[in-house]
Amino acid sequence: MYGCGLRVSEVISLNISDVYAKDEFIKVFGKGSKERLVPIGNKTLHELMLYIGGERLHQDIKPKFSDKVFISARGTSLTRQSVFLLVKRLAEQAGIKKTISPHTLRHSFATHLIEGGADLRAVQQMLGHSSITTTEIYTHISDEYLRQVIMEYHPRWHSQKTSTN
């Protein structure tokens, strides 16, 4: 979810046939059954392929769900609720005190891209937002990050900061 900025519904509906490992992208069916191609980074792709070629092979998968990437213990697709509970449990195990949801991971994906200098239109396309306005909510967080960077590194601001310390 974090590696590609996917919604929970997109994760649970992802098919193996929608993973184009050689080309490093996945085909996602988002809101309103809109299809989009999302790049998948090397680390995320590596972990996904380890799961598909490893742990998933040892699951008893019901025939109807044989193309689904993520499978429940019952051999069917995961549910939205099971993904939410899994993310919550893993966050707790990692010692994270904040409430973390699947959407938190999507939000972090977008925020980190924008903070890293990604084009807002590219982020919009990756997230599957029909309106740029929806994507612009992530720029507010980025504005704070930019303010911190200026305070830290701009000669005028940095010298004022260090002279008062």
What are the catalytic residues? 7, 31, 103, 106, 129, 138
What's the Cα-to-Cα distance from 55 to each of 43, 61, 114, rounded to whole Å? 17, 12, 34
CA distances from 136 to 41, 110, 144 (A): 23, 10, 14
Assigned token pair, 146: 């930019």
38 touches 25 (CB < 8 A): yes
